[in-house]
Amino acid sequence: MTYRSKSDRIRVFLVLFFGFFIWGVIVFRVFSIQILEHQKYKKIATGQHLIRMNLEAKRGIVYDRNMKVLAFNLPTHSFFAVPKKVEEKDLVAEKFSQLAGCSKEKVKNKLKTEKKFVWLKRKTEKEESEKISSWNLKGVFFRKEIKRYYPYYPLAQDILGFCDIDNQGLAGVEYRYNEILSGENGEGIFLRDAFGNSYFTEEYPITPPISGKSLVLTLDLNLQSILEEELKKAIKKTDSDEGTGILMNPKTGEILALAFCSNKKESTFPVKNRAISDNFEPGSTFKIVCSAAALEQGIKRPEDKIYAEKGVFNIKGKILHDHKPHEWITFKEALVFSSNIGIAKVTLEVGKENFLKYVKKFGFGEKTGIDLPGESKGFLPSSSKLSDYTLSVFSVGQGVSLTAIQLITAYAAVVNGGFLMKPYVVKKVLDQNDKPEKKFGPTVRRRVISERTSRILVDFLKDVVSRGTGMEAKIDGISIGGKTGTAQKPDLVNGGYKDGEYIASFVGFFPVEDPKIIGLVTLDNPKGKHFGGQTAGPAFKSIVSKIFSLQKTPFASSEKVIIEKNSEKDVEKDLYSGKELSKEKLLKVPDVTGLTAREAALILSSYDVDFRLSGSGIVANQEPEAGTLISREQICVIKCEPK
């Protein structure tokens, strides 16, 4: 009896011990889960129905030079589904397939995935969003996103470019400056409340997005609008296939307007910028290179006579024609009246090596370095393959291919005193508070020709419009200079050239005395009249007329004080002889202190001030002082010191 009682007590003790132990473990585990590791298991439990998504950063704004908004952001709704929560997959698939323009099966397959969420329709318009919300579909949610918006679309689309659905730049400025504009995305966790709205939960850390920086372009929206409008009119009037136009500040390289227009209806944003990527044969606009080389090398003077062979020039058995026959003409008239034979004869005197040197100095055969993606460098023939005949046709713009941006940049060097500038489209980068963070200014690539040669060529180009092939670009009361171009289109399939197909072009600048804008118009395959002077020239005239009709023209101010003393004929005579101009000019010396030596040289040259540089680095002193009136004979001494 005593033994059994002891044994029973041990068994009871063990049962109680293990019972309390097990219950203790359970209680401790519950305590641990509910108290000690509450947050951990809460996240695990709720994480099964929460969705981790990026928080999209606000993309920077793009402004024109006058701070007009060209690209900004709008809030929008994007709809997604959590497949496990979608009860009526057929209905959801049917509804969204109609909106997305795809098959019902494609949407349904999305809903069969094991993913936590799938996109159904992103960045909807307001009406779409309201329509989808009214369906009240279970398992379908929305989140707020940002949509890129271009208020003046399609104006300036070639420069601006566009973004993809994730607001990443794919073309133009949007692509080139994507890293600056895009900012940094954050991260958040989303769920659905009782009203079907999505929101972030405060229990979980969220990385806030950092907004992108903004850009101020060199573009002038008014000039862009004029350029595109007149370019479209010219294409329609001449029944051309397409056309390109550029307006630039010749002294700085700032792109004021740039456009490509086509007869074909474009339903999407352009992927490439045709003004900087497409190559074409320039025709007679290329004659400026030979003219510059002959003047720089002292081979020709403007008044030198050339026999133009009555329009038919036999070059070792091959014939070069003029569109209009001439006998004796001056070197100047060879350019003014666009004589192929006159320019070819001058080029043969210049020689192929010398000619190629100036072709390259003007920037042909290399990229301009413009801050836009997709630039082409064009094509130059090899020196070894240039016979007298091929050199002759090369000099008049055949057998060479270039881009519109190369051509206008070369002409800018002709009219700005001889400096080849780097074209650019972005003036400033603004921080998130719209304060200037970085500025971009003029960049001189190299000096191409002397100031004297520049002045002579400007006079040539003025006569092209006043009495030469560009007379249809003339406007009473406005001094315009320019050059016409007409080139047969090459047949890239069969070789040779296409019959009856041409590229017509006109490069013009104004006012001649102090060019503020230089422009280029090209028309592809105009029907009927096809010469550049008949088609592109009048288009340029219309553009200039519209610009001058603006209330505020960009040409009113000038720092130069000019005192007339002699007649125009005397001035022209002295200009051609290489002597100092008889027409005395009193020039106001600009302030260049604090600038780099290169920047100072560019500015002084643009004001026609003769100068001498000493030292290197930053301008520390200038004599005479800024604001002093000096004659053309006086020299401004610029002293530079290291940074």
Catalytic residues: 284
Q: Is residue 362 within 8 Å of 289, Cβ to Cβ?
A: yes
> Residue 89 and residue 636: Cα distance in Å, rounded?
81
Number of residues assigned to the chain:
643
**315 forms bridges with which residues in the sheet?**
318
Per-residue tokens: 522 = 């090209």
Neighbours of 550 (CB within 10 A): 12
C-alpha span between 640 and 500 (Å, rounded): 57
User: What is the side-by-side strand order in the sheet with 636-641?
Assistant: 611-614, 636-641, 618-623
CA 311 to chain centre: 41
Residues 68/71/76/80 CA torsion (nearest 10 deg): 180
Q: Answer for the pair 508, 540: CB distance below 8 angstroms, yes or no.
A: yes
Longest CA–CA separation in the chain, Å: 150
Among 503, 422, 507, residue whose Cα is nearest residue 457: 507
The identity of residue 30, as a single letter, is V
Give me 402's structure tokens: 């270039």
The set of residues, in sequence order, having a beta carbon less than 8 Å from that of 352 and lying 6+ positions away, is 383, 386, 391
> How far from 300 is each of 68, 303, 387, CA to CA, in Å?
49, 8, 22
Residue 474, Cβ neighbours under 10 Å: how many?
Answer: 16
Which candidate, 249, 232, 224, places its Cα nearest to that of 156?
224
